[in-house]
A = this chain, B = another copy of it.
Amino acid sequence: MSDSIKYNLDESRLPRFWYNIAADLPTPAPPVLHPGTLAPVGPDDLAPLFPMSLILQEVAAEREIAIPEPVRDVYRQWRPSPLFRARRLERALDTPARIYYKWEGVSPAGSHKPNTAVPQAFYNREAGVTNISTETGAGQWGSSLAFAGALFGINVTVYMVRVSYDQKPYRRALMETYGARCVASPSMETASGRAVLERNANHPGSLGIAISEAVEVAAQRDDTKYALGSVLNHVLLHQTVIGIEAMEQMAMAGDDPDIVVGCTGGGSNFAGIAFPFLGAQLRGGRKRRIVAVEPAACPSLTRGRYAYDFGDTGHLTPLTKMHTLGSTFTPPGFHAGGLRYHGMAPLVSHLKELGLIEARAYQQLAVFEAGVQFARAEGILPAPEANHAVRAVIDEALECKKQGTSRVILFNLCGHGHFDMQAYIDYFAGKLKDLAYEESELAMALAGLPSVPA
């Protein structure tokens, strides 16, 4: 019996470069626009928010961007992360498919997010920044930046969506143990927060609102920059260490994925595993199916409009062309806070428009059923976000069984669910419901999209 086999890359194989898919795109992604002038933004427009090194990565054209040695030194603590063959899950499904997963939950914060939190903290420190403000939904990103801030001696303030702040005190405690300051959003600390609270003193918050608060603070204070945990090009860039390692590990396993799967909220863990494989294809390599999986209750890629929109609710960010549900749309409170974002990474949206990736959406009951099946077979309890990818993988594997064909499926298991146990408790107690999709609320949000000449 050979079981659940692990493919470990030696530390000497830790990537030295991030992969920049912009270098291989058949057509470039549409430019980011200044919301006032509607002209493409330049580096100086973004300088109040980000250190210049990150802004230059945002618009970089070269295929490989060197990972600084101090960042590699921190990565070394948990990277290269393991790749597993899910043999026990395959047996449980009785499928001819061969299933592999890249396991990002081994990072100190428990997800893929430190892959970008660490370089972001590093570049900020290099630029002399002493304070970073950010937002968090489920808390994966906030705790990752708190961790990175502790390592590089930067004060981190996290605007945490209020409903998460109240429901997930343990995630908050993790951030505070790392030394970060957590603020329930909407808060009275910012004009955007106060504006929301004036309309509704009990507003549960949203990622869009928390982004407004964090951006506002950074824009107003000289000693403070802003950090975003997904969506932006440089964030997706940093996550490509996942796929670069996975390509080498799949070669170690002597296998090559026919299907690559990741869940999508803002798009960064999906991009992390998918872009290096996609880049190889764009340079003339083999075509693979690349599948983005999102929640049916926040279906930006499958049902959103591809249009210019704001990244936040308070309309403080530039305009980016992306699949959006409208920046005023508040997704319902399903149990995968990391996927409750109205928009999608512009690069992921662009690839969808080019027909280079697929997208599908699942309701949460099916998603948790898959997560429990995975936990019992593989022993790892996934984050609710990751369960979306697990659901798609199990469905693909069952389809292989039905067709009697063997395919190789690779997915990114982006984090563990140790801080999401209430969701599992609710699932077992029958309290989770599939959510009705509020077509009317969405239509209203889409009607409010900013008007940008074609």
Contacts and interface: CB of A to CB of B under 8 A. Distances in A.
Interface of A: 1-6, 8, 10-11, 69-70, 73-74, 76-78, 84, 88, 106, 108-110, 147, 150-151, 169-170, 173-174, 176-179, 372, 375-381, 416, 418-419, 421-422, 424-425, 428
Contacts of A108: 378-381
Contacts of A11: 6, 8
Q: Can you list the 3 inter-chain pairs with the closest CB atoms, starting with the nearest?
A: A108-B379, A170-B421, A3-B73
19 contacts: A1-B70, A3-B70, A3-B74, A4-B77, A8-B11, A77-B378, A88-B151, A108-B378, A108-B379, A108-B380, A150-B375, A150-B377, A169-B425, A170-B418, A174-B381, A177-B375, A177-B376, A179-B376, A416-B418
Contacts of A169: 421, 425
A87 to B, nearest CB: 9
Contact of A173 (B2, B70, B379, B425): B425
Contacts of A174: 381, 418, 421
A418 B73 CA distance: 25
B76 A1 contact: no
* Copy count, this protein chain: 2
Nearest to A422: B170
Nearest to A176: B428
Contact of A376 (B2, B178, B381): B178
A3 B76 contact: yes
Contacts of A179: 376
A432 to B, nearest CB: 13
A76 B376 CA distance: 17
Contact of A2 (B73, B372, B379): B73
Contact of A151 (B2, B8, B73, B379): B379
A76 B170 contact: no
B77 A372 contact: no
A277 to B, nearest CB: 25
A76 B4 contact: yes
A86 to B, nearest CB: 11
A147 B378 CA distance: 9
A15 to B, nearest CB: 16
A167 to B, nearest CB: 12
A299 to B, nearest CB: 27
Contact of A428 (B8, B77, B150, B173): B173
Contacts of A3: 70, 73-74, 76-77
B1 A150 contact: no
A381 B419 CA distance: 13
Nearest to A118: B379
A5 B419 contact: no
Contacts of A109: 379
Contacts of A4: 73-74, 76-77
A392 B124 CA distance: 35
A418 B8 contact: no
Given A176-B428, A177-B381, A418-B110, A77 B6 contact: yes
A70 B109 CA distance: 31
A132 to B, nearest CB: 16
A120 to B, nearest CB: 15
A106 B78 CA distance: 10
Contacts of A69: 1
Given A4-B76, A11-B8, A84-B77, A177 B379 contact: no
Contact of A379 (B88, B147, B418): B147
B424 A177 contact: yes
Contacts of A381: 108, 174, 177
A271 to B, nearest CB: 24
A78 B418 CA distance: 17
A376 B421 contact: no
Given A108-B379, A178-B376, A424 B173 contact: yes
